Amino acid sequence: MLILGLETSCDETGVALYESERGLLAHALHSQVELHAEYGGVVPELASRDHVRKILPLLREVCRQAAVAPSQIDGVAYTRGPGLIGALLVGAAIGRSLAWAWQVPVIGVHHMEGHLLAPMLEPNPPKFPFVALLVSGGHSLLVDVQGIGRYRILGESIDDAAGEAFDKTAKLLGLPYPGGPALAKLAEQGDPQRFRFPRPMTDRPGCDFSFSGLKTAAINTWRALESSPENRADVARAFEEAVVETLAIKCRRALHATGLKRLVVAGGVGANRRLRERLWELAAELGGQVYYPRLEFCTDNGAMIAYAGWRRLAAGQGEDAAIEVMPRWPLDSLLAA
């Protein structure tokens, strides 16, 4: 079964071809970073217009890379939500129209399900059940994953998502958009001992997160130092350490509460080097295993959507021709497959 995957939920147009026997055949991505950079963040209307421009050229490119003709495609998967509504509508309209023209089934995929299944694209994929830490620009979730669509939320952010906290703190420190990777890069030069920020909500039970206070701690510290650039890397490092340590503490709790040994980490913040190192250490200490997607599949991409779509289409799920997206869509409301 050959599946076309389309990702257009935010500021990346991702297109991929996944084949059930041979795995991922091709993938292509267009990042809108340059388009939004001058505004310091994603401008939804510009995002939608750019998806419209890029999606079909990217489709042509993946067909060429994989030496596949559109007539060989057996199904289409697109990101149905959550995300920016105009951006989602581009993938939904094009995905469903292609499926109708090609007379093949189509499925709308949950973006976070795509992220949490992304490690399945790697050579040593995790087996169910596992705990998933999903940390992106819009969500921070700890999920007990028993199978496809069998998700129990163990904890989530009560305010900013982890990626959002990275982005906002980076902006306050005067770093360019996109802030998360820029802050992480700067933090590499910082002294981890100089400042210590709180580990929010670790003093009470449970797996929920709160990150907005850390942003405030970082900015107050930096302003107290009169915003001098030579202190910026140390502040960035303290912020990153606090986020990483908080996530590690909550992962430990989630593994303990579920009795599971496998931890999957996905979403854009999963690309953070310090977080990856820290969770390797945690897994080693607990005698467990941690699974990540390759770096380029931590952030948004079409491959994870093609894969998740294949799992659902192979289970006989699919949709009729009406076009609908879900800008808000709770992960624990999905059907099992």
Q: Which residues bind ligand KG4 (CB under 6 A)?
A: 10, 136-138, 163-164, 166-167, 178-181, 184, 267-269, 271-272, 299-300
For the CB of residue 267, give the shortest distance to Zn ion in the complex, in Å.
Answer: 6
Measured in whole angstroms, how far is the alpha carbon of residue 215 from the centre of its chain?
21
Q: Which is nearer to ligand KG4, 104 or 165 (CB)?
A: 165
151 vs 166, which CB is nearer to ligand KG4? 166
What minimum distance in Å lies between the beta carbon of 179 and ligand KG4?
Answer: 6
Residue 217, SS3 per DSSP: helix
Q: From the list ligand KG4, Zn ion, none, which binds 179 (C-beta under 5 to 8 Å, kind-based)?
A: ligand KG4
Asked if 120 and 300 touch (Cβ cutoff 8 Å), the reply is no
Residue 287 and residue 301: Cα distance in Å, rounded? 31
Nearest CB to ligand KG4, comparing residues 157 and 299:
299
| Alpha-carbon dihedral 130, 133, 134, 139, rounded to 10 degrees | 130
CB of 303 to ligand KG4, least distance (A): 13
CA–CA separation, 122 vs 238, rounded Å?
Answer: 32
Q: What are the helix and strand counts (H, E) for the chain?
A: 10, 10
What does 24 interact with, of Zn ion, ligand KG4, none (CB < 5 to 8 A by kind)? none
Return the ∠ at Cα 283 (arms to 114 and 332), rounded to 5°. Answer: 30
| Interface with Zn ion (CB under 5 A), residue from 300, 301, 307, 309 | 300
Q: Helices marked H in the chain — which ranges? A: 33-37, 44-66, 85-102, 111-117, 162-172, 179-187, 212-224, 232-258, 273-286, 302-314
7 is an interface residue for Zn ion by CB under 5 A: no
Task: Select 121 or 271, whichever has its Cβ closest to ligand KG4.
Answer: 271
Question: Which residues make up each annotated binding site for substrate?
Answer: 134-138, 167, 180, 272
**Cβ proximity of 121 and 115 under 8 Å:** no
Site for Zn ion in 117-156 (CB under 5 A): 136
**163 contact choice in Zn ion, ligand KG4, none (CB below 5 to 8 Å, kind-dependent):** ligand KG4
Please give the angle made by the CA atoms of 82, 20 and 5, to the nearest 5 degrees: 30
Residue 121 interacts, among ligand KG4, Zn ion, none and using kind-specific CB cut-offs from 5 to 8 Å, with none
- List, as residue ranges, the binding site: 111, 115, 134-138, 167, 180, 272, 300
Which chain residues interact with Zn ion by CB under 5 A? Answer: 136, 300
